[in-house]
Structure 1
Amino acid sequence: MNKIMLINRLNPQDYTEEKKKIFFSLGGMNIPKVENKIIDALHNSGIIGLNDLVLKYNGIELNITTQQIPNVVKLLCKENISIYSIYQFYNPDL
């Protein structure tokens, strides 16, 4: 069975303040200690608010601007969180 997922192309030249739902596929999301570590790190950094964070079974979805992605990656790496992919789901309703 093929598993197909449609995603939008991220534009690194996007300097707008428009927030988008960006998904980060992360390792260890099945471990409560790792989930709490991620939530605490993101909340304490001030990069995002708690309303901009949604926990998923295999990662997190953040409501952020494109230019905030590198800062989130840097923060997650600093916390030794494994990042497997970053993308924005395709939403034909846009």
Structure 2
Amino acid sequence: MNKIMLISRLNPQDYTEERRKIFFLLGDTNNVIIENKIIDIIHNLGEVDLNDIVLKYNGIELNIATQQIPIIVKLLCNENISIYSIYQYYNPDL
């Protein structure tokens, strides 16, 4: 059986302040120490509120603007957190 996931295309030229739910698939998120480290790293950035952070079993979902993605990636890489993918789930406007 195929597992299918629909994702939205991210636009790197989106300079609006519109916040979107962006998912970061990360390594070692089953380790509580790493989970806490990830939350601290992102929250200490000062641009992401704790209410905008949702831990998932294999990563973290952030309610952020598109232009914040490279900042988050740089912070996570500097702390040796493995990033496997970044995407926004497809959510059709009904």
Q: TM-score range by the shorter chain?
A: over 0.9
- Taking the aligned partners of 2:17 and 2:47, their CA distance within structure 1 comes to 14
- Taking the aligned partners of 1:2 and 1:12, their CA distance within structure 2 comes to 30
Q: Paired residues, what number?
A: 94
Structure 1 runs not aligned, ≥5 long:
none
1:35 deviation in Å?
Answer: 0.2
1:47 deviation in Å?
Answer: 2.7
- Taking the aligned partners of 2:93 and 2:29, their CA distance within structure 1 comes to 29
Moved over 3 A (4+): none
- Taking the aligned partners of 2:32 and 2:62, their CA distance within structure 1 comes to 19
Report the RMSD for the aligned CA atoms in angstroms: 0.9
Q: Which residue is 2:53 aligned to? A: 53
With the length of structure 1 as denominator, give the TM-score of the two structures. 0.96
1:44 deviation in Å?
Answer: 1.3
Which amino acid is the alignment partner of residue 28 of structure 1? D
Q: Which residue is 1:11 aligned to? A: 11
Which amino acid is the alignment partner of residue 2 of structure 1? N
- Taking the aligned partners of 2:10 and 2:45, their CA distance within structure 1 comes to 23
With the length of structure 2 as denominator, give the TM-score of the two structures. 0.96
1:9 deviation in Å?
Answer: 0.3
Match runs of 1:1-94 below 5 Å: 1-93=1-93
